[in-house]
Structure 1
């Protein structure tokens, strides 16, 4: 891979907007906030497809609180009043919890806010920082990694990002509460932010604050979420529109999961719900195609997947629906077909009763060579940890690229954004950048659906949220981007969800789907990144409601 030269960057922190000194820790019983927003400002430029774009970079934090916070109510216990049964919020028992959320904003110089789109981007997890989208997809600098194998150790190469989305929009990369340079504090802080609705409330509050602080209410506005970030986006866009009165032009969903009942990670824990196996089958087929594990290798991937998708929703779905009543001859015929489409041994498929979950597929596809197949990106492979295990014990893609992303961002943040090494940002002048809150096992997945007075049982399904957002704003446009080699959120799962949004058929045309020969992190493949940029930039330009004469001139 040939690295492009870095564009020149002024890169000097400005002192015209100094960060306020931190407040001392609040005393026992006090309700004063302990966090204050801060920021570091620098200047830079990036070249995108031959066009130079000068920008201002703002790295900083904003402070958000759980739902129920009222900064104008002196009787609110969060504003200093003693907590009593009379004034304690009835829907929230975290009167002191708060989050300092870290962000990096890239704002094009010389553009009027009303003439410049702005896009808020975040990864998922839940509990992941947004270093991946920032350093791998759309930021002005991109870390170079290998396409489908483990990278060499440091030093890593940071290059000008020819596919930065700054040619089409200003960008705000937001880290989830408790990740990045952000922190959470206060009583029951984890309960306040580490759950589906608390997380969505935090992002809703952050975006509304950002629009006010930077004067961007009249800009064309977009959300771009990846993985769990798509779950978040469905809730957040609905809240921003229906609760805050802020319509959005579009939502871009990368590697979508809106209904967790469709996950193929451990569907055996939900017997009777066979849809995950159906929706994962095309990804199994694509993966076997990539690794040449099929009995007969098709010539064309897309034609092959069309055939597999049709089989999945017809014969395969019907066989699974029959359960133990399935005729043995029909079971054997379906097992043979699954072997032809996945490369897995027929006897293995029979023993699994035609139901192979994601971890088992990753373990078995190349298991005869003691190799595990990737989950986030099934093009990746790695040595198996336990040759006798039932499932893959780790993800080869995550192991292959994580060090490059984290190392490159830490270096970039401190040397070019000038954030993370100031005495007021951490002990001894150093603040740890947390790529994850490591909270997924403790995450509260229950979700209160629009119009309901209490959270629904089970795992979240936010199709109603996105459907309501599209009905509330019939001009809201949706772009779904997905990779064929993604077993974390299989591409056919996203297609199925878009076909089952609770919206009138007249709004179905507001949804468009773009697919790539890559994995969960579509941008990890350089050719796919270029396609992703072009599709996202085109989506923004078609929906930003701007006239050509309002667009900033190229330098």
Structure 2
């Protein structure tokens, strides 16, 4: 590994010098830094040693000009072959570091949290992650430019990376250059993204495939492909329709529906039917609903969601997610979680229209962030002088460009969607498989939105069958829920084994 480190340093210095000789007014680009260690994980009784790298790669643009120190953590099984699968994983945000997947389910260590309650203060427990897939695949955790250790260098600016297309391009460049650098181009390859990371994944599928780098599989955790579904925009009723089944799931969990005697999945089938056959036509009819129809619709919505019929009528049958969080348990002085509606927290504003906090985020953020930074500096050996940034929203000037090629009509952005990219990649590569993992209690990226998108990709049946849907009785980060951790491992491991030819 020492020889490899020297090669990294020589490559970085030569690139920096070349860039400087071409007239870099900012001076010499400092070399990327990589910190090496050996990590261990025990999975199903098997002790596995891993060569770990944490640091940055000197990312180059299409003209080989340095543009970023791109942060990553790489786990490679000792003695593994180049034919071993490799997974590139990232979180969402749109600009969040990868600590959540890293310490939640994918890395060799996981942080213990009190699901579905609040975790106490430090010390936090970092334990062996028996639910990882490191026994069958190597792993690269990616931190996009703006988070982790990733920063622009040379003539590049933050804005060159902060946008839908800019993000797809830079991560695509990183994956290609990393595969070349590590001699892994011919390995079975996978993308794994969570939340906005699935939106990114759909674009990356097409971007990489168009460059001749086809994935064996793509894993979507808590997915969204059409951002319009989440925005509750004026005059756009689709948001209310796709959120309704998750409102129902949340109310069922908290004992607020008229269907408590039904099993959850049977109840959600009924909620889907209601949304399609009764709720959608009513919203389409709009102000033409009669008084009797309004009364009937309010009562039915109340039965499914636990909110009063009067509340639904006063909301004109359109309740936004933040309003639902606040209203469901208002009488108990509590609000439910956005990322995971099993979590509840104190609602300080008893008359507020919308929740001003997310109990699940409040409950787990401190343990994840603190435990990861402890692991990064103490376990992975990263220089403490390097600042690791967990989210970009605190960065001065942070602004995301939501424009995406193909989303425009009449020179205006009509949608915010990477669903067409996914459909294009699947159509061009009939061997490509997609695994989508959905949390029933996820009120950030709701499962019925994903189902709607998949049902409207316009794919022939034999291609659509390449999309596999799995469901969890948990939320956005289903891996905080112990039974879902085991299911996650089983679903992802089986998917990788089947699509890599190892099974």
TM-score between both structures, scaled by the size of structure 1: 0.85
Q: Give the corresponding residue for 1:170.
A: 138
Q: What are the superposed Cα offsets for residues 406-447 of structure 1, whole Å, 9 maximum, x if unpaired?
A: 1111111111110132xxxxxxxx222111011797211110
Q: Give the corresponding residue for 2:55.
A: 60
Q: Give the corresponding residue for 2:442.
A: 486
Structure 1 CA distance for aligned equivalents of residues 24 and 52 of structure 2: 39
| SS of residue paired to 1:318 | helix
Structure 2 CA distance for aligned equivalents of residues 453 and 335 of structure 1: 37
| SS of residue paired to 2:387 | coil
Q: Give the corresponding residue for 2:95.
A: 127
Q: Give the corresponding residue for 1:112.
A: 81
Structure 2 CA distance for aligned equivalents of residues 55 and 276 of structure 1: 44
Structure 1 CA distance for aligned equivalents of residues 28 and 296 of structure 2: 65
* Contact persistence 2:24–2:155 (CA under 8 A): no
Structure 2 CA distance for aligned equivalents of residues 537 and 62 of structure 1: 28
Change (3 A) 1:231 1:16: closer
Q: Give the corresponding residue for 2:31.
A: 36
Structure 2 CA distance for aligned equivalents of residues 459 and 404 of structure 1: 37
Q: Give the corresponding residue for 1:364.
A: 327
Q: Give the corresponding residue for 1:460.
A: 416
Q: Give the corresponding residue for 1:534.
A: 490
One of 428, 437, 452 as aligned partner of 1:496:
452
Q: What are the superposed Cα offsets for residues 326-374 of structure 1, whole Å, 9 maximum, x if unpaired?
A: 2221121111011000100111100001110100000100111221110
Structure 1 CA distance for aligned equivalents of residues 388 and 3 of structure 2: 23
Q: What are the superposed Cα offsets for residues 39-88 of structure 1, whole Å, 9 maximum, x if unpaired?
A: 1111122111212222111112113356xx412xxxxxx58xxxxxxxxx
Figure out how many residues of one structure are paired with residues of the other and give that number.
494
Change (3 A) 1:62 1:454: farther
| SS of residue paired to 2:219 | strand
| SS of residue paired to 1:287 | helix
* Contact persistence 1:58–1:104 (CA under 8 A): yes
* Contact persistence 1:482–1:491 (CA under 8 A): yes
* Contact persistence 1:375–1:397 (CA under 8 A): yes
CA-CA distance at 1:504 after TM superposition: 2.3
| SS of residue paired to 2:465 | helix
| SS of residue paired to 2:438 | strand
Structure 1 CA distance for aligned equivalents of residues 241 and 298 of structure 2: 13
Structure 2 CA distance for aligned equivalents of residues 453 and 459 of structure 1: 9
One of 437, 461, 471 as aligned partner of 2:427:
471
CA-CA distance at 1:187 after TM superposition: 5.7
* Contact persistence 1:14–1:40 (CA under 8 A): no
CA-CA distance at 1:38 after TM superposition: 2.2
* Contact persistence 1:225–1:253 (CA under 8 A): yes
Q: Give the corresponding residue for 1:551.
A: none
CA-CA distance at 1:453 after TM superposition: 12
* Contact persistence 2:223–2:445 (CA under 8 A): yes
Point out 4+ residue stretches in structure 1 off by more than 4 angstroms.
Answer: 13-16, 21-29, 185-188, 452-456
Is 1:307 aligned with 2:270?
Answer: yes
Pairing 1:256-295 to 2, within 5 Å after superposition: 256-263=223-230, 266-267=231-232, 270-295=233-258
Is 1:254 aligned with 2:215?
Answer: no
* Contact persistence 1:464–1:502 (CA under 8 A): no
Q: Give the corresponding residue for 1:437.
A: 392
* Contact persistence 2:392–2:398 (CA under 8 A): no
Structure 1 CA distance for aligned equivalents of residues 420 and 363 of structure 2: 37
* Contact persistence 1:35–1:100 (CA under 8 A): no
Q: Give the corresponding residue for 1:224.
A: 192
Structure 2 CA distance for aligned equivalents of residues 188 and 29 of structure 1: 11
CA-CA distance at 1:178 after TM superposition: 1.0
Change (3 A) 1:371 1:239: same
CA-CA distance at 1:496 after TM superposition: 1.2
Structure 1 CA distance for aligned equivalents of residues 373 and 3 of structure 2: 22
Structure 2 CA distance for aligned equivalents of residues 111 and 163 of structure 1: 20
What RMSD over aligned residues (CA atoms) do the two structures have, in Å?
2.4
For structure 1, the residue ranges without an aligned partner over 5 or more in a row are: 1-12, 72-77, 80-97, 422-429, 549-555
For structure 2, the residue ranges without an aligned partner over 5 or more in a row are: none
Q: What are the superposed Cα offsets for residues 513-543 of structure 1, whole Å, 9 maximum, x if unpaired?
A: 0000000011111110110110000001011
| SS of residue paired to 2:356 | coil
